[in-house]
Structure 1
Amino acid sequence: MSEPSQYIAESAVFGDTNLVDWTIAPAMRTVAAHSKNTDDARSLLEMLGLIAPRTASAAEPVVACKRRCVSCNRPGRHSSESLKKWPGTVAIVGRGMCRACYTAVLDAEKEARDVVA
């Protein structure tokens, strides 16, 4: 009996999704045998046209929050809320600002007081 890869080479046209079942199953097995991980297998199956390609995901998840740092305008959360619950946000710690902006403002105020004194 010949190998599944021979069936693919003889009868499959690249990207043809109208193949009969007896050519698709060996192709999927061949891809599974030669792939290094699941992402590799998925990309090979997508290239062969045997599965539907994934939609492109956004680079950053959209964070639905109502608070923002008043200084840098990054999405914010209350300092007692978990980062796991609000991914991509910064904790608002004082005066409506994130820790980095708030610390910078406090340092500037301290310098201004030291100059006067």
Structure 2
Amino acid sequence: MSASKAKGTAWETRIVGYLAENGFPHVERRALYGTQDRGDIAGIPGVVIEAKNCRAMTLASWVDEAALETANDGADFGVVWHHRAGKASPAEGYVTMTGETFARLLLQAGHGNRLGADRG
């Protein structure tokens, strides 16, 4: 396994551990699906998590990748959980998504007004 792959696998494993310790008992690393990839972390219905542990942040391409994987999975939400330099815990990492995804997440959580959601 390459050093880059090992670094990514370790980050995914830390995310899974963090989520499991914080109320998500079914979370797990997902097997690779090739061109039909469905994200790196599974076990939260309707959510795709793409994990990234890279020196350079390329948010646009990462968010596009998460969107494609969300469509492949038929999920409601796709996010990128990326490592924060100098911080080991996923609790201190970043979670990135589009504004549209964030608005839908807030609405599903019971915040906001669905009538206002049509204003775009």
Please indicate the TM-score interval, normalised by the length of the shorter structure.
under 0.3
Scaled by the length of structure 1, the TM-score of the pair is: 0.26
Scaled by the length of structure 2, the TM-score of the pair is: 0.25
Which structure has greater strand proportion?
A: 2
Which one has more relative contact order, counting CA pairs under 8 Å at least 6 apart?
2
